Amino acid sequence: MKTIVIGAGLGGLLSAARLSQAGYQVEVFERLPLTGGRFTNINFRGFQLSTGALHMLPHGPAGPLAQFLKEVKADVIIVRADRPTIRLPLKKHHPDYRHGFKDIAFSEFTKPLSHKDRLKIALLVVSTRKNRPTGSSLQTWIRTQFKDEWLVKFADSFCGWSLSLKSDKVRVEEIFEIIESMYRFGGPGVPIGGCKAVIDALEAVIFANGGRIHTRAEVSQILVENGRATGVVVGNETYRADLVISNLGHAATACLCSEALKEKIYADYIRMLKTLQPSAGIKICLAADEPLIGYSGVLLTPYAKRVNGINEVTHVDPKLAPPGKHLTMSHQYVAPENVKSLENEIDSGLNDLKEIFPGRKYEVLLIQSYHDNWPVNRAASGTDPGNETPISNLYVVGDGAKGKGGIEVEGVALGVAAAMKKIIG
């Protein structure tokens, strides 16, 4: 079976690795000169920054991505990060970190609550595993259960860090699916070598299985005949295929076959595409001689104005920075209405970092923002429309078609696994 993969991001390469392993003849076309999309390293003054991700796999060496990599025999070492922590103001009534702070373990998130609320949480932990809450946003659900605003703040920082969303935009079903995954697979990990190690390993698999990857090769059209995808156009060339996998998300994929999708039978699909909302975010990359956090676990910062969390990956892989230096990266969610004032959002983020690391020496290496056509997530978590399209033999993979309950690249891996099951069986 001749297969064309459009886009050499994580989703495209996972698919290409799996299909080439199963004996499909795979050809990948990537528009940029580099592969990996928003999941690879870029060298910046000797630091291994990234094109997107913060070098973290949400469920580390046991998660869906790690499992998928093992199945396709992609050789990556993934090290579990230290446990996450939460930074609280020194006194409960302080609105921020200006008068000092203390850090507690992620698992102690109920500590700031009253005894009564803590007891209630203990009961909910048991009851919600059997009876999952449904039908509202996470924030609404929390507010129907508790008066203490701490839980909303905590939820916002967790959702901001892991999904680049606020808790009022996350379906409660999705978050409980994520909690279940946390029980099952554990917390985050860092691939040794950063994101690019994953991409390199997948490429090695694809090449070993006879697949090909073309860079600087933009697909300008997906060919459709009688409701079936039959190939793509790259430059002046037409490439025929029995199967087309797009790594571009549903909306951008539809643009490549917009003529074919004009038919009335596709109207529902086109309408659905308009409801998809990419999520926006800002990453600030810091360099420091002395560690700012001091361990590899995520530091959640619910009392910062904008920054949701920070990691310091050099505790797992010192080679991600020049000798003796540390790489520390913060992430903040950007609300859709604030995308037009990104500079203000960035300034707020930079101010937060000053409060989170008072008196500490660091250099701001690079500030990276993501929205619209190069977002944190093509489909906000929990709204992914699946891998299939109304065109037969045309599938969508990547962060516009994640699997349920999969945070970021774990969702990408779950989505690819589901698509491959449909295709290969």
Ligand X SMILES: Cc1cc2nc3c(=O)[nH]c(=O)nc-3n(C[C@H](O)[C@H](O)[C@H](O)COP(=O)(O)OP(=O)(O)OC[C@H]3O[C@@H](n4cnc5c(N)ncnc54)[C@H](O)[C@@H]3O)c2cc1C
Cβ contacts of residue 261 below 8 Å, gap of 6+? 254, 269, 270, 390, 391
Q: Give CA torsion, residues 172, 65, 44, 288, to 10 deg.
A: 60
How many Å from the N-terminal Cα to the C-terminal Cα in the chain?
A: 14
Measured between alpha carbons, how far is 53 from 331 in angstroms, rounded to an integer?
A: 10
Neighbours of 76 (CB within 10 A): 19
Q: Which does 191 bind (CB under 5 to 8 A by kind): other proteins, ligand X, none?
A: none
Taking the least distance from each CB to other proteins, the nearer of 89 and 349 is 349
Residue 42 or 270: which CB sits closer to other proteins?
42
If the CB atoms of residues 124 and 367 are measured against other proteins, the closer one turns out to be: 367
Closest approach of ligand X to the CB of residue 191, in Å: 10
- In angstroms, rounded to a whole number, what is the distance separating the alpha carbons of residues 252 and 235? 18
> Collapsing DSSP states into helix, strand and coil, what is residue 322?
coil
Q: Considering the rule CB under 6 A, would residue 49 count as an interface residue with ligand X?
A: no
| CA 105 remoteness from chain centre | 23
Q: Name the segment binding ligand X (CB under 6 A); options: 9-17, 123-131, 317-325, 359-367.
A: 9-17
Q: Which of 52, 112, 194, 349 binds ligand X (CB under 6 A)?
A: 52
279 strand-pairing partners: 377
Closer to ligand X by CB, 142 or 170: give it. 170
**Whose Cβ is closer to ligand X: residue 30's or residue 173's?**
30
CB of 29 to ligand X, least distance (A): 5
Yes or no: say if 234 and 222 are a contact pair by the CB < 8 Å rule: no
State the minimum distance, in angstroms, from the CB of residue 363 to other proteins: 15
**Nearest distance from C-beta of residue 220 to ligand X, angstroms:** 7
DSSP structure class, residue 169: G
Measured between alpha carbons, how far is 327 from 184 in angstroms, rounded to an integer?
Answer: 29
Smaller CB distance to other proteins: residue 283 or 315?
Answer: 283
54 binds, among ligand X, other proteins, none (CB under 5 to 8 A by kind): ligand X
Distance of alpha carbon 92 from alpha carbon 101, whole angstroms: 10
Site for ligand X in 329-368 (CB under 6 A): 331
Could you tell me how far CA 268 lies from the centroid of its own chain?
27
Work out which of 18, 38, 171, 326 binds ligand X, going by CB under 6 A. Answer: 38
Looking at beta carbons only, is 74 or 248 nearer to ligand X?
Answer: 248
Determine the Cα–Cα distance for residues 255 and 393; give it in Å rounded to an integer. Answer: 17
Q: Which residues sit at the interface with other proteins, rule CB under 8 A?
A: 31-34, 37-38, 42-44, 49, 51-52, 216, 342-343, 345-346, 366-375
Q: Nearest-CA neighbor of 49 among 34, 39, 60?
A: 39
Q: Least distance (Å) from other proteins to the CB of residue 344?
A: 9
Contact partner at residue 101 from other proteins, ligand X, none, CB < 5 to 8 Å by partner kind: none
- When CB distances are held under 5 to 8 angstroms depending on the partner's kind, the choice from ligand X, other proteins, none that residue 315 binds is none
List the single partner that 371 binds among other proteins, ligand X, none, CB under 5 to 8 Å by kind. Answer: other proteins
